[in-house]
Copies of this chain bind each other. A is one copy, B any other.
Amino acid sequence: MKIEEKSISALRALSIDMIEKAGSGHPGMPLGVAPAVYALYRNVLKANPSNANFFDRDRVVFSAGHCSALVYSVLHCCGYNLTMEDLQSFRQYGSKTPGHPEVYVTEGVDCGSGPLGQGFATAVGIALGEKMLAGRYNKEDCKLVDHYTYVFMGEGCLMEGISYEAASLAGRWGLNKLIAIYDCNKVSIDGNTDISFTEDVEGRFTSQGWRVDKVETINDYEGVTKALVNAKQSDKPTLIIVKSVIGYGSELQGLNKVHGSPLKGEQVVNTKKALGYDYPPFTVPSEVYEDFAALKQRGEKAEKEYNEKLEYYKKHYESEYNEFIARQNEVDLTNDFDFATTVDMSGRDVGNKVLNHFASRNIAITGGTADLASSTKAVITGGGNFVDDKVGRNLHFGVREFAMAAITNGLSLHGGFIPFCSTFFVFSDYMRNAIRMAALMETKSLFLLSHDGIEVGEDGPTHQPIEQLVSLRAMPNVDMFRPGNSKEVYAAYQSAISSNHPTVIALAKSKLAQCDANLEDCLKGAYVLSDEGEAVGTIIATGTEIALALAAQKALKQQGVQVKVVSAPCLDLFDRQDEEYKNSVLPKTQKNVLAVEAGATLGWYKYLNGTGRVIGIDKFGASAKSKDIYAHEGITIENIVNTFIQMMKDNA
């Protein structure tokens, strides 16, 4: 047996060993796609197993994350920090080898995946990151940033809408260093893909500005290698359609049953026999390790060359060098923002000013909108448009919220970016799972979403978020901000760019409250905004409703009722404060807590100590003038006052 074939068989054998031992997993794709993964890692990829995070490495995304066993197998064989014991702990609690690839858990995994289609879109973001950095920093005599992004995908990814959105943008942006390998086995969970997927994939990608190549059989690893090498010369992104057989070598090959059920006992033995791989479970002969060592040799050489380039660059282009390094590591939070300039401004306008404040100090800040720049105002003034300016920092994502969010995550994963994206808050629905993946992958993604409630007005219920606030507050590892004054907007952005997880900022279309606050307070997520003495209760509000709360406070005072007003721009952040602080803002013994927010009430009871009330909206909004909807829904000073007084009586 040729060493190449033995190495490929090793990947296949390890994968099914892992899956058999775990008693769960997906053997179909690893058995099918191993030769292409071999071709990439053994022959083409620039990466260094000794330093998995080497900055100018090629990135690899397994968008079909169910091939995780194969991913870990190849990483192990290539000498990444993944032992045979790790492989044997596949899918066990706390292991480095979870069921779907997770970044930060496994060295060498550049992107988490599992939800289909999204890995591909994230790869587009990674490739975009490379192109943007190359556009900004590369010089005639020094290509400082110069790597490829490879992505493996199957029919499942190709069927998802996000893959078309992302492919369209990759075509538009001319991401020629993006190379997608389509594992074309024509089988998905429910059977032959023809039952639901008969489109002409070549025509589809060609129509979106891609180059398409084909390899007739995936076992032709030399053909795959050649296709990969050719793709690197393309001036367009390339899709390599590689025909494969799901579950290759097993008795179930070609059948959907082999997708997600472990091969067992005899099946495993027979598969290895069919592959001519005559070794005990979890055994890799030394010549296979030696074969895969080619990656490490190339990678160490590449890293050495990169470091030399860095030195050269530092010498000849010092300021660019400093910027390049800083953007990967530092965040400038200098606060000389002139809050006086934000008087009487809408949330989105303040957002624009604050974004630009930080963007002017942090070149890493880069992003764009889903065809809503003029509405959400998430634009870097003078930042240029990337599409016609290679150093442009503003992106036009088109009306593609989901891909936009995944691409934003990709920019963050690439490194060197604090990426943002923007649309109307209600359309966070469209990108929801990409926000979730950002949270899981701990990317520093900023989701800047304007038009934060029924204040949207005439555009009506399809454009008015109701349940989105509580929905995102409930999502782990995401900070959901809804700022109500300029300081809170500032705090939201500061928190976002300095944290190590994603942040959603919901900005009002309309004017914010004109009330000052302490930046430090705002950064605690909730704080006492106004306390006029011995209070009998508290009104807690967010966003534009803090103005109503303050007005109600005044009106109540005229009736001899003194209340505190708490503003809560970010309950996630508040929840993470120490008990002492939390108790100082919202004492657990406090009766008469009234929450006011123009959104679903469900999440508020946590803060009401059992005796409080909440004024919110548990139905869809309406197409009408904003003030009319507020009035109809009882989000008014009058209703706050009356509700508070009634609550006091009931609690007395």
Contacts and interface: CB of A to CB of B under 8 A. Distances in A.
24 contacts: A24-B457, A25-B458, A93-B624, A93-B629, A98-B461, A99-B459, A100-B459, A100-B460, A157-B399, A159-B371, A159-B398, A159-B399, A160-B430, A161-B161, A161-B400, A161-B402, A188-B371, A190-B371, A190-B373, A195-B385, A429-B432, A466-B475, A476-B620, A610-B611
A442 to B, nearest CB: 10
Contacts of A203: 203-204, 206-207
A171 B189 contact: no
Contacts of A622: 93-94, 98
Interface in A90-115: 91-95, 98-100, 102, 112-115
Nearest to A19: B458
B372 A98 contact: no
A387 interface: yes
A88 to B, nearest CB: 14
A545 interface: no
B155 A159 contact: no
B156 A440 contact: no
A429 B462 CA distance: 17
Contact of A467 (B199, B463, B471): B471
Given A91-B623, A196-B400, A477-B620, 17 more contacts: A24-B457, A24-B459, A92-B624, A93-B624, A93-B629, A99-B458, A102-B461, A114-B463, A117-B399, A188-B399, A190-B371, A196-B387, A429-B433, A440-B461, A470-B602, A471-B475, A605-B606
A199 B203 CA distance: 11
A578 B99 CA distance: 46
Interface in A327-381: 369, 371-375
Nearest to A195: B396
Identical chains in the assembly: 2
Contacts of A471: 467, 470-471, 474-475
Nearest to A617: B476
A625 B373 CA distance: 46
A603 interface: yes
A502 interface: no
Interface of A: 22, 24-25, 65, 91-95, 98-100, 102, 112-117, 155-157, 159-165, 168-169, 171-172, 188-190, 193, 195-204, 206-209, 256, 260, 369, 371-375, 385, 387, 396-403, 426-427, 429-430, 432-433, 436-437, 439-440, 457-463, 466-467, 470-471, 473-477, 600, 602-603, 605-606, 608-611, 618-620, 622-625, 628-629, 632
A400 B161 CA distance: 7
Contacts of A608: 605, 610
Given A169-B196, A209-B199, A99 B623 contact: yes
A193 B398 CA distance: 8
